[in-house]
Chains A and B, each alone.
Chain A
């Protein structure tokens, strides 16, 4: 696949890893807030290619995992009501809210449907005029334009039976919240390339200036990540703190104006709860007044409030690097990957799930000094 395969070249990736190793003179920690980047780093063993001095921190970048339990509980409750079709992205279906997941609701007879695009939910609404169709709108800024457009399509089609349960999250306020925490440690950031393709670079420039920290907008393939890391570490070694754009083939300075415009007309910025972290002001979206009719929370005002179960979960502190998973009283006992209590265990990209797996006896082989040759095709 063009524009994908070229960036998965192992030999080229190793050259970047070597260049980083030669450049580094002291320890640096670099954080990314993007589930997709975390995924790629782990899949390709990117962090294992880097010298000891470099620590990669995985911030709260999995939108599915930071979606508050309350939103899932609301979706589950609505899904069980008669004459409702609840549509959701696939990876959201399995996440438990405070008790139950959407897959559970489906097993109880709820009409829960997986969709690839919010427009598919609009099509379902069009095809089922006698049913209420809801879309669980989660995701970062890459996804918000697509859900905004779903609303615009629904408005254009005059649909009265379509609404969205919105629980979007925005990255820059989360970055600021992490950096405002004195216990938070990153020296540099990789900004999520696809989020920036939409939002542009401006807000991230503000972060570099305010916190004097280098930020590199980075793509998702191994070569992108290594190049982004190389750029970030070069800055750190040189004492620089500016915004750079590694992902220039997809990210423009101004971002995507049409997408920003759609989001700006359908939504407004608001406070948002992040699972395992808490409330971050200005980090979420709610409907603008003009589109209030599409707000599922307004259509279903009588939802039972989610009881906040007393939880020993310390995800928030772990995400900021203030505590480590073994510090947590629930770790490995009441909280495991099969029954997680917080975001860092729900996502196996999270620190707690990582530590949990590493504890397994016998056997993660020590990495040899010699490089592996990739088996030729």
Chain B
């Protein structure tokens, strides 16, 4: 349910929306993930992977904003 890990999408293969796959790097491991739920993902993006599927493309702008919120603390 909850275990989903961000990885770097290295390359994409296949055109069929159901079976389109990407090679994803998690630290020192590279493994493929199904991209059916992230048709907008491009090589170089970071994707959140759960049970062999990319479920979200990480929004870099939002990520930066989230970390920057720390500076707003008094």
| Cα distance A337–B36 in the bound complex, in angstroms | 40
Given A116-B51, A143-B51; A248-B37 close (CB under 8 Å): no
Closest chain A CB from B43 CB (angstroms): 15
* Chain B count of residues within 8 A CB distance of the other chain: 36
**Could you say which residues of chain B place their CB within 8 Å of the CB of A156?**
18
Point out the residues of chain A lying under 8 angstroms from B26, CB to CB: 1
Question: Is the pair A35, B53 in contact by a Cβ cutoff of 8 Å?
Answer: no
With A145-B55, A258-B36 as given contacts, are A16 and B70 in contact (CB-CB < 8 Å)? yes
* Given A35-B2, A140-B1: A117 and B36 interface contact (C-beta under 8 Å): no
In the complex formed, the residue of B with least CB distance to A3 is B6
Give, as a whole number of angstroms, the nearest-CB distance from B70 to chain A.
5
The answer to whether A192 and B2 touch (CB under 8 A), given A12-B70, A198-B55, A250-B58, is yes
Number of A interface residues, CB 8 Å? 54
| Total A-B contacts with CB atoms under 8 angstroms apart | 128
Given B4, B5, B52, B58, which contacts A118 in the complex, CB threshold below 8 Å?
Answer: B52
**CB <8 Å contact, B52 and A146:** yes
* Nearest 3 A/B pairs, CB to CB: A36-B2, A117-B52, A140-B1
Which A residues have a C-beta under 8 Å from some C-beta of B? 1-4, 6, 12, 15-16, 19, 22, 34-37, 39, 61, 63, 89, 116-120, 139-143, 145-146, 149, 152-153, 156, 192-195, 197-198, 220, 223-224, 227, 246, 248-252, 256, 258-259, 262
Residues of B that sit less than 8 Å from A by CB: 1-6, 8, 18-19, 26-27, 34, 36-39, 46, 48, 50-53, 55-56, 58-60, 62-63, 65-67, 69-70, 73-74
